[in-house]
């Protein structure tokens, strides 16, 4: 398919709750094309995950995963996954702070506290069930992308606005 334009903060669609993928849509040409657009767009921008709302499609689906990434060099690989209609259950409420970024907010970063352990469930693009219990970066990534489906961006979760900065500036001082 093709690389899509990123919907940026300020566009009201990023603040809307996305609607579920319907049973009859699993495996459809429309959904499989959307999945390919998401993978193509994620690869083009060097991202580790992208929600459909970030390309202007307000449906409850995102893709994520990587073998390695320049941006997050010290994290364990996350399997490439298509997740539709995700449900998250917190399994370890202990939070950890980490800087997050987002394609929809260009090069802005900010420190976000998130639970370190979750169980997530949902479906792949063909309607096959997915259920995983994960921790650390994998858990953070799924929570971040699920937030997009609820109209939430990471800036909404930043507790100390003094941690917000541009990636390049944070790199200069060794933060990101």
Identify the burial level of 163 via C-beta atoms within 10 angstroms of its C-beta, where 0-12 means exposed, 13-18 middle and 19 or more buried. middle
**37-65: string of b/e by CB count within 10 Å (b at 16+)?**
bbbbbbeeeebbbbbbbbbebbbbbbbbb
Residues that are catalytic? 145
> How is 102-162 classified by DSSP, letter by letter?
-GGGTTEEEEEEEEEEEEEEEE-TTS-EEEEEEEHHHHHHHHHHHHHHTT--GGGGBS-GG
């Amino acid at each position: 398919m093709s690389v899509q334009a990123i919907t940026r903060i300020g566009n009201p669609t990023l603040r809307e709750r996305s609607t579920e993928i319907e049973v009859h849509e699993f495996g459809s040409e429309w959904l499989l094309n959307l999945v390919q657009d998401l993978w193509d767009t994620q690869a083009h921008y060097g991202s580790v995950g992208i929600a459909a709302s970030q390309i202007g499609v307000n449906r409850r689906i995102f893709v994520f995963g990587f073998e390695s990434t320049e941006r997050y060099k010290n994290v364990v690989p996350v399997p490439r996954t298509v997740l539709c209609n995700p449900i998250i259950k917190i399994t370890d409420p202990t939070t950890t702070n980490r800087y997050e970024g987002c394609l929809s907010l260009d090069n802005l970063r900010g420190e976000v506290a998130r639970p370190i352990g979750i169980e997530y469930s949902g479906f792949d693009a063909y309607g096959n069930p997915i259920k995983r219990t994960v921790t650390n970066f994998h858990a953070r990534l799924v929570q971040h992308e699920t937030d997009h489906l609820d109209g939430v961006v990471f800036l909404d979760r930043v507790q100390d606005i003094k941690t917000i900065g541009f990636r390049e500036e944070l790199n200069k001082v060794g933060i990101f």
